[in-house]
Amino acid sequence: MYPADGADRVWAIQGKDSTEMINVNGEYFIRSINPGHWQVSVEANEPFRNARFDINDIKPGTDIDLGEIRLQK
């Protein structure tokens, strides 16, 4: 996450299921999620804007690195 303190909370959402990601110095992690289509929702701190984006076709047992999420003002 850039800036590292730009987000308050980050969620992974699949249908009605959601889980909050763990923040470690601006890097967000989830231990495991179900396969399939997910959305990532970022609840940003002012002056940054919230963000939401899709992650398609997550496969069982794979690690996914979303790269750096740059928050916009």
Residue 60 CB coordination number (10 Å): 9
User: Does residue 72 surpass a pLDDT of 90?
Assistant: yes
For residue 64, being part of any structural domain is answered with no
Range of the domain at 41: 7-58
What pLDDT score was predicted for residue 18?
93
Q: What is the pLDDT of residues 61-71, one digit of tens each?
A: 778 888 899 99
What pLDDT score was predicted for residue 7?
93
For residue 54, being part of any structural domain is answered with yes
Q: What is the pLDDT of residues 3-47, one digit of tens each?
A: 989 999 999 999 999 999 998 888 898 888 889 999 999 999 999
pTM value > 0.95: no
Q: How many domains does the chain have?
A: 1
Instruction: Kindly provide the residue ranges of all beta strands, DSSP E only, lying in 2-71, ordered along the sequence.
Output: 7-14, 17-20, 22-24, 27-29, 36-44, 51-58
Query: How many Å apart are CA 42 and CA 28, to the nearest integer?
Result: 10
For residue 35, being part of any structural domain is answered with yes
Backbone angles phi, psi at 21, to 5 degrees: -80, 150
User: Does residue 2 surpass a pLDDT of 90?
Assistant: yes
Q: How many CA atoms lie within 13 A of 73 on its CB side?
A: 2
For residue 25, being part of any structural domain is answered with yes
For residue 72, being part of any structural domain is answered with no
